[in-house]
Amino acid sequence: MKRTWTIIGVKDVPSSFKWYQSLFGQPAMPPAHDHFGQILDTDGTVLLCLHAWGAHEHPPLTSPDHGTPGNGLLLFFRVDDFDQVLQQARALVGRFEEEPHVNPNTQTREFSLRDPDGYYVTISALL
């Protein structure tokens, strides 16, 4: 099995780290570094990496001013506790980009919201 580590540029790693932990109902803990953190599943699988804009001079992560954060990127998470994540998401944002509905293509419930940096995040129920 091969896995990807999706890395997104964020303004404030500790703040975004806390936001994603809250979304997924994970215990609050600080990221490993102020400039980089990994959101992990209970089995240690990396779900998402958060990287501070401009840290380490990675060309696509130099600045959010060189493009629109999230343009062409959809963060899509399948969760086994959909109703719990829905409740946690409602506590994090004032409005959803898409309210909960059944996706006609996958026949699963899903909803979408924006994270603190403007990334489009879709949560889908795992069958």
User: Which CATH number covers residue 29?
Assistant: 3.10.180.10
Range of the domain at 79: 7-125
Instruction: Choose among 6, 18, 120: nearest CA to 61.
Output: 6
For residue 41, pLDDT over 70 is answered with: yes
Q: pTM score > 0.75 for this model?
A: yes
For residue 50, the SS3 value is strand
pLDDT surpasses 90 at 56: no
In a domain, 74, yes or no: yes
Joined together, the tokens standing for residue 13 give 């790693």
Q: Does 1 reside within a domain? A: no
Instruction: Give the tens place of pLDDT for each residue, 108-121.
Output: 999 999 999 999 99
Element (H, E) at 102: strand 98-102
Q: How many domains does the chain have?
A: 1
What token pair was written down for 106?
């996958």
